[in-house]
Amino acid sequence: MVAGCGGSKTAAAKLNFWSYDEPGGTFRDAAKRCTQQSNGKYQISFNALGNDADTQRQALVRRLAAKDSSIDILSMDVVWTAEFAQAGWIKPWPANFRAAVSKGTLNGPLQTATYKGRLYGAPANSNTQLLWYRKDLVPGQPPKTWDDLIDTASKMKTAGRIEIQGAQYEGMTVWFNSVEQSAGGQILSGPSKVGLPTAPTMNALRIMAKFGRAKSADPSLSSQKEDQNRLAFESGQAAFQINYPFIYASAKANNPKLYQQIGWAPYPTVNVADSAKKAPVGGFNWGVGGYSKHPAEAFAAAACMRDSQNQRDFAIKGGLPPTLSSLYDDPAFVKSYPFAKLVRQQLEAGAVRPQTPLYADVSLAIYKTLSPVSAINPPQTLGQLRSRITDALQSKGLL
Amino acid sequence: MEAATAGTRAAAEAQPRKRGKISNRTKSERRLGWMLCAPAVIVMIAVTAYPILYSVYLSLLRADLRFPGDRAFIGVDNYVTVLGSSLWWADFFHTALIMVVSVSIELVFGMLLALVMHRAIFGRGLVRTASLIPYGIVTVVAAYAWLLAFSTPSGGFVPHVLGIQHDLVDQGHPVTSFLVVIAAEVWKTTPFMALLLLAGLALVPDELHEAAKVDGASAWQRFWRITVPLMKPAILVALLFRTLDAFRIFDSAFIIGQNGTNPKIETVSILGYNQLLNRLNLGLGSAVSVLIFLCVLVLAFFFIKVLGTERPGDAA
């Protein structure tokens, strides 16, 4: 158990890192690298969680609710921060580490890790959606606003379809949150207060209803998630898709001819002036377990595992957009990620999802109310949304 | 067997008359009886009574693991919330639909399979073993097999063969989603139904059939007039078991609904699971669990009191 080169006399603190296993193995590599760099101060062992966010959250929450001290470092989806922090399941970052983590980190991801003014996680990777389009079908400048996008696609003779996540799941909340913020509203006006101001929300709902009823909507919109969108676009059925950048590498492998024609543009907005603002922000933050026996070492290890070298590795080998601004200028990354600049711009000004300990409930209330989007009737839907989110915030009602 | 049961019954009937003057021997016998039962009773209290009572207790609280400080007694509020929610009734309807359709189909198929197993002359052992294979497969594994066969994004062969582009088991296609869940249930549990029915078939004496044949009854008449009435207790027990099981369906619907994300085939058990494990709302989740338990009790009561099913263990 003694590190090969370390000459330290005190035993290394054994840290458990819980995360999903990035298929490129880069998270395991980061744990190894940081263990070596610590010179025997700590030793990180990697514990793999499930592949989808719900499974990961369940596994962590079950242990944390039972005050499990073996969770030293954990990988958290950006929407869990408030819930975990409020319950005392993660520790706030001490000032010295906080400064180091914030330095050079993009604003959107940093906001997701902050709750009630305190930093609860080190943003390790991020993600955002772009508007992807077919250059061979869309002449000139791609549309900037939602209305323009829907009108342009509806008028097209061939493949005039827009692919987006319309199924009843988190993806729907992501979409609504961005449109709502772009329209000038907020879903919540505080951790336990409903926002949804009338005028902007009516506008957001109008856009989503229009999207759902337009000719350009995919007939199976109400059951589409990211991967169905990717498939439909790759098979040439659509001119546009709103999706994460994974579709780019996928198209290169699956349909090289179509890949040549893929163009990208900022995530659509409600007003032209907002271009590249209010796009979705995803990704994972690394927190320190509230019951860890070695918090000091855990903070150091978590900070190390998201440093520039490791994030570069996540980006290049794992395709995960970094949270450190400087990496978007890295030639090796830009080569496989030609839209790097746009992604950075969107992450800097992104639409962070509501921060509330009851996020899971609020999100459920939103997507169960809004799906299918073709059935949205703005005034009525607004009322339903408000009452269901109010219930969710009091952890009332079945969901 | 019969004599022994008759003996116990007689003893049980005789006891009240003797009340008041129990001999020492009877007393010590009773004590011995209790001591012999005690380990089983203690285990049952620990693993059944305690969790059930604890759920009932939790269902009367506002108990959310995310807000450990906010625990409070709120009476039947959780039940009011659950029963007043359209989601509970939607899921209740999904569950009832799956239960009624799958148990009906299982009864027909199970009866056919039981007749085949009963009448098979060649390879009887092989037929019986082969028909039990689906029942022996772990439910989650079987459910994955059905999901992967019907799900288009997973490259399922069924949509491929039929030339269908959309996903058959996603939330946009409730009818096919239901059909797949029901088919998986039927495939999996028909052998169980058949086994219970086979036990009943074995009770029908051959002489009755032969006598009826001599009297000129057709095979159909013999089935309806002799086999079915004599098998009624076995049929009711089989239906009771399967109905109670089907109402609590979780694994097939959860897996085929892609980890419970298809709201169109969400069952009451999945609803309870979501409240407990996703929302960590122990109060609401326990209320759902207790309601499921009550539904099962009502079903069992209906079978035993109204249809006159013999309780398992009570010999005829």
pLDDT number for residue B164: 84
Q: In terms of CA atoms, which chain B residue is nearest residue A361?
A: B279
**Torsions phi, psi for A92 (to 5 deg):** -70, 150
Answer whether A360 touches B (CB < 8 Å).
yes
Distance from CA of B49 to the nearest CA of A (A): 23
- How would you label A71-102 residue by residue, b for 16+ Cβ within 10 Å and e otherwise? bbbbbbbbbbbbbbbbbebbbbbeeebbebbb
- Evaluate if residue A340 carries a pLDDT over 90: yes
pLDDT number for residue B11: 47
**Segment B197-232, tens digit of pLDDT:** 999 998 888 888 889 989 988 888 988 888 998 898
Round the average pLDDT of chain B to a whole number and report it: 87
Q: Which ipTM score applies to this complex?
A: 0.76
Percent of chain B with pLDDT over 70: 91
Distance from CA of B134 to the nearest CA of A (A): 28
Helix (H) / strand (E) element for B242: namely helix B228-247
Q: Collect all residues of chain A within an 8 Å Cβ-Cβ radius of residue B279.
A: 360-361, 395, 399
Nearest to A396 among B68, B81, B166 (CB): B81
Is B279 in contact with A397 (Cβ distance < 8 A)?
Answer: no
**Segment B135-153, tens digit of pLDDT:** 999 999 999 999 999 988 7
Answer whether B266 touches A (CB < 8 Å).
no
Helix (H) / strand (E) element for B212: namely helix B206-214
Q: How large is the average pLDDT for residues A322-327?
A: 96
Distance from CA of B262 to the nearest CA of A (A): 8
Number of C-beta neighbours around residue B70 at 10 A: 11
- The edge-to-edge listing of strands for the beta sheet with A262-265 is A162-163, A240-243, A130-134, A262-265
**Segment B166-177, tens digit of pLDDT:** 778 887 788 999
pLDDT number for residue A6: 45
**Torsions phi, psi for A144 (to 5 deg):** -105, -35
- Give the Cα separation of B56 and B50 in Å (integer): 10
- Evaluate if residue A5 carries a pLDDT over 60: no
B77-306 folds as: MetI-like fold (1.10.3720)
Is B85 in contact with A223 (Cβ distance < 8 A)?
Answer: no
Is A399 in contact with B87 (Cβ distance < 8 A)?
Answer: yes
Distance from CA of B69 to the nearest CA of A (A): 9
Q: In terms of CA atoms, which chain A residue is nearest residue B285?
A: A398
Q: Collect all residues of chain A within an 8 Å Cβ-Cβ radius of residue B261.
A: 168-169
Q: Which two tokens stand for residue B164?
A: 């269908």
Please work out, in degrees rounded to the nearest 5, the angle formed at the alpha carbon of residue B227 by the alpha carbons of B224 and B229.
Answer: 75
Q: How many residues does chain A have?
A: 399
**Segment B42-59, tens digit of pLDDT:** 999 999 999 999 999 999
pLDDT number for residue B85: 86
Is A398 in contact with B88 (Cβ distance < 8 A)?
Answer: yes
- Evaluate if residue B8 carries a pLDDT over 50: no
- Give the Cα separation of A150 and A135 in Å (integer): 17
**In whole angstroms, how far apart are CA A224 and each of A165, A351, A372?**
5, 22, 11
pLDDT number for residue B312: 58
Task: Please identify among residues 62-81 of chain A the ones whose CB lies closer than 8 Å to any CB of chain B.
Answer: 62, 65
Distance from CA of A398 to the nearest CA of B (A): 6
Mutate which: A235, A398, A399, vs B, most B CBs within 10 A:
A398
Q: Collect all residues of chain B within an 8 Å Cβ-Cβ radius of residue A58.
A: 277-278
Is B65 in contact with A61 (Cβ distance < 8 A)?
Answer: yes
Is A168 in contact with B171 (Cβ distance < 8 A)?
Answer: yes
Q: Which long-range contacts (CB under 8 A, 24 or more apart) does A243-252 make?
A: A243/A129, A243/A130, A243/A132, A243/A163, A243/A164, A243/A165, A244/A127, A244/A128, A244/A129, A244/A130, A244/A282, A245/A127, A245/A130, A245/A319, A245/A321, A245/A337, A245/A339, A245/A343, A246/A319, A247/A132, A248/A132, A248/A339, A249/A319, A249/A336
- Evaluate if residue A145 carries a pLDDT over 90: yes
- Give the Cα separation of A189 and A198 in Å (integer): 13
DSSP structure class, residue A90: B
When mean pLDDT is compared across A3-12, A187-196, A337-346, B64-73, the lowest value belongs to: A3-12
Short-list A160, A126, A128, CA closest to A143: A160
Full-model pTM: 0.81
Round the average pLDDT of chain A to a whole number and report it: 92
- Give the Cα separation of B9 and B17 in Å (integer): 14
> A–B: how many Cβ contacts below 8 A?
70
The residues of chain B that CATH labels 1.10.3720.10 are 77-306
Which of the two residues, B156 and B184, has the higher pLDDT score?
B184
How far does CA A275 lie from the centroid of its chain?
Answer: 19
Domains of chain A by range and CATH?
12-126+283-343 (3.40.190.10), 130-279+358-393 (3.40.190.10)
Please work out, in degrees rounded to the nearest 5, the angle formed at the alpha carbon of residue A377 by the alpha carbons of A374 and A380.
Answer: 145
pLDDT number for residue A157: 85
Distance from CA of A186 to the nearest CA of B (A): 23
Answer whether A251 touches B (CB < 8 Å).
no
